[in-house]
Amino acid sequence: MSKAAVPCLRYQDAHAAIDWLCEAFGFEKHLVVPADDGGVAHAQLVRGGSMVMLGSARDDEFGALCALANDAGGSTQSTYFVVDAIDAHYRQAVAAGAEVVIEIRDEDYGGRGYSAKDPEGNLWNFGSYDPWADPT
């Protein structure tokens, strides 16, 4: 049995993205591997029991498969993270300048959440709804 799915993203300025994601969304640096060209070869950010991996955009085999969100005219995928204190998380993101694209609200399926874009146009979703929780 696998342990988890880990979203992977590429950024034009991965160093700035790492700092911003930590400030705005409460991630913590788990591992940051510098690239020879001054970028980020590989980074792992954690928040609770979740992780996201990212690196600098590069002209390589994997990079040829990935468009940057802003180059694609917006995000083509999004990630969802379960957050216990969703209202406080929302306030932290707004204070850090996150572009909120769906305001915080109660959801019909349960929980509360919002959606925001990072400075490079990637779409992030945060909410208190936990699909793994026992529904009873």
Residue 76 pLDDT = 81
Reading the chain (136 residues) residue by residue, the pLDDT tens digits are 566 789 999 999 999 999 999 999 999 999 999 999 999 999 999 998 899 999 999 999 988 888 898 889 888 889 999 999 999 999 999 999 999 999 999 999 899 999 999 999 999 999 999 998 866 5
Domains and CATH numbers, the chain: 8-127 (3.10.180.10)
Residue 122 is classified by DSSP as: -
Residue 7 pLDDT = 93
Block residue for tokens 């490079």: 120
Residue 135 pLDDT = 65
Alpha-carbon distance of 134 to 18, in angstroms, equals 33
CA angle 104, 108, 109 (to 5 degrees): 105
Alpha-carbon distance of 67 to 69, in angstroms, equals 6
- Residues present in the chain in total: 136
CA angle 58, 36, 119 (to 5 degrees): 50
For the entire predicted model, the pTM comes to: 0.91
CA distances 35 to 6, 15, 55, 112, 121, Å, are: 21, 11, 9, 39, 23
Give the distance, in angstroms, between the CA of residue 52 and the centroid of all CA atoms in the same chain.
7
Residue 5 pLDDT = 85
The tally of CA atoms less than 13 A away on the side-chain side of residue 78 is: 15
Give the closest residue to 77 by CA, choosing from 127, 122, 45, 119: 122
Residue 107 pLDDT = 94
Residue 4 pLDDT = 79
Residue 82 pLDDT = 94
